[in-house]
Every structure is written in C-alpha cells, then in structure tokens.
Amino acid sequence: MYMQNIIALGMISLFTWGCGNSDKQKGETVQTPLVDKVWYSNPVIDSDNPDPTVIKAEDGYFYLYATGGNTWIHKSKDLVHWTYVNGAYEDDKKPSWEPDAGIWAPDINYIDGKYVMYYSLSKWGGGETCGIGVSVSDKPEGPFTDQGKLFRSNEIGVHNSIDPFYIEDNGKKYLFWGSWYGIWGVELSVDGLSLKGGIENAKATKIQVAANTGNTNAYEGSYILKRGDYYYLFCSTGTCCEGANSTYQTVVCRSTNLFGPYVNKAGEKMNDNKHEVLIHKNDAFLGTGHNAEIVQDDEGKDWIIYHAYRTSDPSLGRVVLLDRVYWDDNGWPYLVGDGPVVKAEAPVFKNNK
C-alpha cells in the first residue's frame, strides 16, 4: 500500500509538472534541437554536363548551364539536388553564325536586369573560324535570344578562341577567353553586348594573362575570383575529353591586378606556364576541370562546381561534381585531399524549401 501511494504521488507530480511547463514561460530559453548533419554524394548531376556555369537567379534558384545539345539547363535550391529544366534556345533559334558548329562552354551572368550568356560556337578542328557570341533572356530558364558573335579567332588574332568568362571590375566590363593558345582579356561595351571600340580596337588592346610556353595542354576554361586583395585565376590544363585517358585538372594562380601578372606560390608567372594544382584525379574521378563560379553558402563556406569522368564508368561522360573550397593562412585555395570527395557535409542554405 505504501509503495502504491508513492507511485501515485509520483504520477500526480509528473502530470502537474507537465501541465505547468506545456507553454514557454516568460524569460525562458528554448534550446534548438540538435539536427544531424546533411550529407551529399558526388556526382551531383550524374550525366554528361560538361563545362558548367552557375548563377543564383532572382527567383532564389541556382541555375546551371552546360555544353550539350541546346545548352542544357538544370536548377537547384541547394547545389546538391538538381532538376533538368530545358535547353537555353528554341530549336530554330540557336546561334548559327559558324556552320556545323556546336554551342560550347557557356558563361552565365546577370547584367542590367537581363540574363546574359556568353558562349563558344565551335567544332573539332575549327580553331581559326570558331569564336564567341552572346545571348540574352529575361528569365534564367530562357529562351535566350542570340545577339550574334563578338569575334572569331581569325578576327581577334587568337587561335581557338573559345571558353568565355565575363567579369566586372571598377565599373568596367571585361571578357576573358582562350584554349591552349593563351588566356586573353579585353574590355567590353557599357552594356556588355559588344567589344569596346569594335574588333580592331579589341585586337590591338587585348592582353594575355596566361600562356602555354611548353609541350603541355594549357590553359583553357578560365574563371577569375576577386577575394580580398587578390584576383584568383582558375584554369584547366591537360586533355579534357578522352574518357579514361583524360588528364584534365584545375589549376590556380593569383595577382593583385585583374590583368596580372598571375603567379604561383613561388612567384613564378602563369605566362611562363607555372601554376598551383587545385583539383587532380583520384580513385573515384578523373579529368577534373573546367570549373564554374565559386558559390558561398549561408554559413560563409565556399563551393566549387566542375566536371569529371567517373573512373568506374567513363562512358557516362563528364558528370558534375561539387566540392568545398578551403583557404590556407596565406590566402591560397585548396581542397581536402586535393581531389574530389565521394561523400561530404552539404552546403547550408536556410531558405531552400
């Protein structure tokens, strides 16, 4: 009987405590429940989508554009889960100023309220007549309207003029480009849709920021990030498109000036074919190159998107990978292990529902 009373009293006390604490009391701190970390696995797009470029659009989604077909577009809220949208162009309105050419290596930007995509129009063996054009759209998913070519290789005086990259600096607009015959830069018009001063002025004033001075495949797929006091020039070297035999890798140098000189950690110049390797192959992936823009998540972590082949099945083409970029005490970027991760903690975006 005594034990039964003790049990009954305990139950009454527990019930009373529960009722008295059913609502948050004034001045009380409620601890946020611990949430397990969210993980992701590479690749984040497990199909052939080479030469990616990424932008966060006004609708809150990230949009990724890639070489292939009609310029394939995917969208995502978190850089991890991607949904195919459509091609960038209506089938009968694709750029066509270079006959029998494909649309390669797009570069997406948001300029003066428009989505502006620079692109390469090229074919294998067409290094003299390939070139770079520009298209615009009111919406990130398109359709994009072609504005025509900016220049061909034989007009600007740079063989194999592909792989455009746009950047604004100190109120001016610039285009960088190049593949195996140097990385070059030139100023654009105020609206970014043409060359400042026309083709003859651009040909005379273009500046080389990286050069192939040896028997290596360098450089292409340029991207420049301004971080702190430095401009970081990311490029790819090696062979891009040979499946299991691809030697592509991502490299980087930096400068205190947009037009260089870009140097490695030892102070050696990229114009002398010197650089730091950022991403190389590992047991899971090879041909790790042509990176997109670096994106920062809501916790201030930096992320890089690029393409690679699966070592287990290169026939899938160049799939899309995502990796976190770290920065050392001297301001140089690096990846854990210097190569692609297979599984890691995911980027954090708080409003990605």
DSSP percent split of the chain into helix, strand, coil, nearest 5 = 15, 40, 45
Q: Tokens at residue 328, please?
A: 């050392």
Select which of 107, 146, 220, 276 is catalytic: 220
**Hey, what amino acid is at 163?**
D
H or E stretch at 103: strand 102-111
CA 285 to chain centre: 18
Sequence-distant (6+) residues with CB within 8 A of 270 are 183, 209, 210, 211, 219, 233, 235, 253, 260, 261, 262, 263, 264
Q: Are 279 and 289 in contact (CB under 8 A)?
A: yes
Where does residue 15 rank: exposed (0-12), middle (13-18), buried (19+ CB within 10 A)?
exposed
Select which of 48, 51, 78, 276 is catalytic: 51
H or E stretch at 236: strand 230-237
Count of CB atoms situated within 10 Å of the CB of 310: 20
For 22, 178, 289, 310, the CA distances from 159, given in Å and listed in that order, are 73, 8, 21, 31
For 166, 207, 213, 226, 286, the CA distances from 210, given in Å and listed in that order, are 16, 9, 9, 17, 24
Phi and psi, residue 296, nearest 5°: -105, 130
Sequence-distant (6+) residues with CB within 8 A of 89 are 70, 71, 95, 103, 135, 142, 143, 144, 146
State the Cα–Cα distance between residues 343 and 339, nearest whole angstrom: 12
220 an active-site residue?
A: yes
Catalytic center residues: 51, 220
